[in-house]
Amino acid sequence: MTEHPQKIVALVDGSIYSASLCEHAAWVSQRTDAPVEVMHVLGRRDAPDRADFSGTIALGARSALLEELATLDAARAKLVSQRGRAILEDARAILDKAGVTEISTRLRQGDIVEAISEIEADARLIMIGKRGEAADFAKGHLGSNLERIIRASRKPVFVAARAFKPISRVLVAYDGGVSAMKAVDHIARSPLFAGLAVHVATVGSATPEVKKGLENAQALLQGAGLEVETSILPGQPETALSKLIEDAQIDLLVMGAYGHSRIRSLIIGSTTTAMIQSCKVPVVLMR
């Protein structure tokens, strides 16, 4: 941890998740004293359309049409940029109202993953909504950007739920893998989790190795002054963890992004979508 707190990067897109994302970012900022940078990326689909509609039109008409298309292109690009700035100003207002004192905004053009890779060295956390503006709810997609960011980011990714509520109980989905152990270590060290109740759960059989892993995780967290309980759950990870989140009134799920057990399939496989969608709480994914 550097002396100057690294910033929280919140990715807003004008979707219904953006307000909740800003409220989650304010919660993180206030617990960690970290500044918030709000970023809106104008994707390639927002860039002016360069298609040639002129075809085989006669010369005079063709040049007139090209001129008109160029004017429309310029007007559309200006509107897209203005909308992006408006989204950023709305986000700033929410953060300001929530008491965040250090806020910066950034409007970028291009690919969202490339934009993040350029700035994530200075970030402690990347924050994004569960679904983006272009996500199709009917098809049950999470949005390709979220999946790409989770796979590409070297920093923890905080996936905000649709509505913000204060966070007091945290569930760690623990599989004994490297990223799960890093997640436990991160929780023990980070001011973000100070004073929160932590539940460490694994899905599978209660083998001596599994029990030992949970005991080690519990000892590390208790050593950091956290209130901890552990459990070994039967069944499938998605169902078992979702049920525990409801039964134990969990407010935040923390998972390793890579592992070596069935929990791994939640992140690497198509079940990621189902897990993040099915639980109504925010999710932090650790590398």
User: Domain coordinates of the chain in residue numbers?
Assistant: 1-164, 166-281
Domain 166-281 matching CATH 3.40.50.620: the answer reads: yes
Residue 95 to residue 88: CA distance in whole angstroms = 11
Q: What is the pLDDT of residues 48-83, one digit of tens each?
A: 455 555 455 566 777 888 888 899 989 998 999 999
Residue 124 to residue 239: CA distance in whole angstroms = 31
- How far is the CA of 141 from the CAs of 131, 226, 269, 283, in angstroms? 8, 36, 14, 16
**pLDDT attached to residue 56:** 56
List the Cα angle 14/90/78 in 5-degree steps.
Answer: 65
pLDDT tier at 152, thresholds 50, 70, 90: confident
Best CATH choice for the domain 1-164 from the list 3.30.1330.50, 3.40.50.12370, 3.50.50.60, 3.30.565.10: 3.40.50.12370
Calculate mean pLDDT across residues 250-256.
Answer: 91
Burial of 11 (C-beta count, 10 Å sphere; 0-12/13-18/19+):
buried
Q: What is the pLDDT of residues 201-221, one digit of tens each?
A: 998 888 899 999 999 999 999
Calculate mean pLDDT across residues 233-254.
Answer: 91
Residue whose structure tokens are 């525990």: 244
- Answering whether pTM is above 0.75, one says yes
